[in-house]
Structure 1
Amino acid sequence: MTGHPTVSVVIPTYNKAKTLADCVRAVYRQTCQPVEVIVVDDASTDGSREIAAGLPCRLICLPTNQGVSAARNAGAAAAIGEVLFFVDSDIALAPDAIGNALRVLREHPGCAVVQGIYDAEPLAADGPVEIYKTLFEHYWRRQRDGVADATLFALTAIRRQAFDDVGGFDERLRDAEDIEFGTRLPARYEIRMSADVVGRHDDVDRLRPFLAEHVRRAVSYGALLAGVLAADDRRRVHRADGHRPDTARPASGVDVGAVAAMLCCAATAVTLPLAAVAGWLLAVPAATFTAFTLVDGALFRFVRRRKGNRFLVYFVAMHFLMHTTQLAGMTVGFAAGLVRSTRRRPARSATAPETGR
């Protein structure tokens, strides 16, 4: 890629009247200007469509609410740029975000996807739930700066050729659609996370909606993980049967730290009632909770530096709740996904070569 390729910014939106104008204006303040800005309204009911109509952007209106996958696909189908930059309508990009994404693509010719990180400060600080989620998302993404093994599309640039090779987002999915997209991205394309591509995010700010959204996404991710593992198993069977191997990307690696933290939280919750049997048994959940704080110790130190000890206590409690509900949701989704994958699993070919013992 020589020079600056043309960039189409695609902004899917559904009921984001609060932040849509800030999102679009931030795009027009970029140091590297896109060739077009496309807002795809997914049948909003809060005036988002009218706000977009008053902004200097191209507006595509979907007749019914179809989900973010359909909205992104509609925007991509209409776009003319050599690079598609997807940004959610509750994010305001830093002025150099697009320019930095293009620089990463230029410096790494094999890279097709550059995904950004959230700023440590939210777009609108609406309470402690939002501050917790924003700090965690910022830290989590920043720690993954460099080559990545999964795709996230809240603020992400992708070469048009790579997007077309995948075939767009699965419009049946309303959650984990961006991660599923990455499982179909050919392995020859590199994915990168860049801490230089930054946006301020307006996140969920109340506990009940936060938990509902979190559990729903965990269930979807668990089901997706089961499907990906089943697909890997089918590919292994095909290779054993003598079929030519395909170029599909292997399943993403396991985040060992996150799994350890989830298991510690679950163990704490499960063993806490032991204290009712005998007081000394309180040592068991105390030990697992201590292990949880050690696993995520670097994150907690980061939060303490940013917000102090008082907020840290709240953050640790929210993080414990997040991990516990996440494990529950992923377990349910994974079990359901395994059942579906088992029902679809083809019988192994009778002509498969035997392996020696």
Structure 2
Amino acid sequence: MPPAGIELSVVIATHDNLPTLKQALEGWRRFAADQPVELIVVEDGCTDGTREYLADLLARGWDGPALRVAHEDDAHELVCTNRGFREARGSLVLSWHDDMFLRAGWMVPELLATLRAYPDIGLLSLSRGLWFHHVDAPVRTWEDTVDWRRMESTLGPAPLNWARLYEVDGVMRPWVVRRAALDRVGPLDEAFRPTEWDESDLCYRLRAAGWKSATHGYERDGAYVHQLSTTYARTPSQRRMEIGLRNGSLFYERWSDTIRAEHGRTRASWLRRATPAGWVATARQAARFATGRRDAS
């Protein structure tokens, strides 16, 4: 077993987002203090007091999971995530944003049980996955890269997606990956830095090595909340589209033949390994969706 019984390493990259980071850390302190978890905060050239806050927190101690801090010089998300991978001591590594807030103590036990039960799953998304479809047309614009005909966002078919995990081709953060899989295929490819399309590239490399990628809507189940937008706020919209086109083009250059050959395959599914608390929370959320108070798609 990894040092101190750690099974899950949670990598949190942060840049000048201290009030939000504090909320993220509080979620892990409140709901995972007794779990076999370590937090690795990658402080990415912060100038807003984050560095000092984390140093003080380590000096005086806190009552949450094991906490470590690494420093990068404004390297952005992808490079910071890879730094966290190198630092991680757990057999599973979770890529987490600093604007994601854990809200349930049952999520970590379910993730650990799921990856133990299903060794063919190399990576599991906690939000949504992507199905890639072959389109017989070139990628020339940013809109081409995200065309729904090419890249379909999915939780898997309803209503069984409340109770099952579904195989996908690509993912969006947050996601948990096996350390053994990273050791086999390598970390996120820094050709995609600062970010975008790196995750789906990793999924295709994992599939080529024999692992599947899966998704389940844990945020929809109430396990966590994603505030959104604070990570992307570092890059103006036009620049993001330029990066998205460049990285999307690289992704399709690498994997278009594989997509053409495999997009019509039958994809696997797995029953969730939820705790009783997880099933109860899911039932409550499903009831809310059924009554029309939330979008169930």
Taking structure 1 as the reference length, the TM-score comes to 0.52
* C-alpha distance in structure 1 between counterparts of 2:77 and 2:36, whole Å: 22
Name the counterpart of 1:78.
87
Structure 1 position 202 matched with structure 2 position 227 = yes
Name the counterpart of 1:58.
68
Corresponding residue to 2:40 among 38, 41, 44: 38
Aligned partner of 2:79: which letter?
A: A
The question of whether the paired residues in 1 share the 8 Å contact of 2:169 and 2:200 is answered with: no
The question of whether the paired residues in 2 share the 8 Å contact of 1:169 and 1:181 is answered with: yes
Structure 1 residues 266-305: aligned runs within 5 Å:
305=292
* C-alpha distance in structure 1 between counterparts of 2:239 and 2:52, whole Å: 30
* C-alpha distance in structure 2 between counterparts of 1:12 and 1:27, whole Å: 15
The secondary structure found in structure 2 opposite 1:117 is coil
The secondary structure found in structure 2 opposite 1:58 is strand
* C-alpha distance in structure 2 between counterparts of 1:104 and 1:307, whole Å: 27
Name the counterpart of 1:185.
206
Compared with structure 1, are the counterparts of its residues 147 and 76 closer, same or farther at alpha carbon in structure 2 (3 Å cutoff)?
Answer: same
Compared with structure 1, are the counterparts of its residues 186 and 48 closer, same or farther at alpha carbon in structure 2 (3 Å cutoff)?
Answer: same
Structure 1 position 107 matched with structure 2 position 117 = yes
Moved more, 219-228 or 172-181: 219-228
> C-alpha displacement at 1:142, in angstroms?
4.0
Name the counterpart of 2:181.
162
Radius of gyration: which is bigger?
Answer: 1
Compared with structure 1, are the counterparts of its residues 44 and 171 closer, same or farther at alpha carbon in structure 2 (3 Å cutoff)?
Answer: farther
Compared with structure 1, are the counterparts of its residues 167 and 216 closer, same or farther at alpha carbon in structure 2 (3 Å cutoff)?
Answer: same
> C-alpha displacement at 1:307, in angstroms?
7.7
The secondary structure found in structure 1 opposite 2:247 is helix
The secondary structure found in structure 2 opposite 1:18 is helix
* C-alpha distance in structure 2 between counterparts of 1:232 and 1:141, whole Å: 20
Deviations 1:179-205 (A, max 9, x none): 333233243111111223642112238
Name the counterpart of 1:18.
19
Q: Which has the higher helix share?
A: 1
* C-alpha distance in structure 2 between counterparts of 1:117 and 1:232, whole Å: 23
Compared with structure 1, are the counterparts of its residues 180 and 218 closer, same or farther at alpha carbon in structure 2 (3 Å cutoff)?
Answer: farther
Q: How many residues were matched structurally?
A: 219
The two structures, once aligned, show a CA RMSD in angstroms of: 3.6
Name the counterpart of 1:282.
none
Aligned partner of 1:26: which letter?
A: G
The question of whether the paired residues in 2 share the 8 Å contact of 1:104 and 1:114 is answered with: no
What residue ranges of structure 1 are gaps of 5+ in the alignment?
Answer: 119-139, 237-248, 255-301, 309-357
Name the counterpart of 1:29.
30
Percent identity reads 24
Name the counterpart of 1:175.
195
Taking structure 2 as the reference length, the TM-score comes to 0.62
Higher RCO structure, 1 or 2 (CA under 8 Å, sep 6+):
2
* C-alpha distance in structure 2 between counterparts of 1:112 and 1:30, whole Å: 25
* C-alpha distance in structure 1 between counterparts of 2:85 and 2:79, whole Å: 10
Structure 1 position 98 matched with structure 2 position 108 = yes
Deviations 1:126-160 (A, max 9, x none): xxxxxxxxxxxxxx5545752111032x3211110
> C-alpha displacement at 1:46, in angstroms?
1.7
> C-alpha displacement at 1:83, in angstroms?
0.7
> C-alpha displacement at 1:97, in angstroms?
2.3
* C-alpha distance in structure 2 between counterparts of 1:12 and 1:39, whole Å: 6
> C-alpha displacement at 1:15, in angstroms?
1.5
Q: Which has the higher strand share?
A: 2
> C-alpha displacement at 1:113, in angstroms?
0.7
> C-alpha displacement at 1:48, in angstroms?
2.0
The secondary structure found in structure 2 opposite 1:59 is strand
The secondary structure found in structure 1 opposite 2:251 is helix
* C-alpha distance in structure 1 between counterparts of 2:79 and 2:36, whole Å: 22
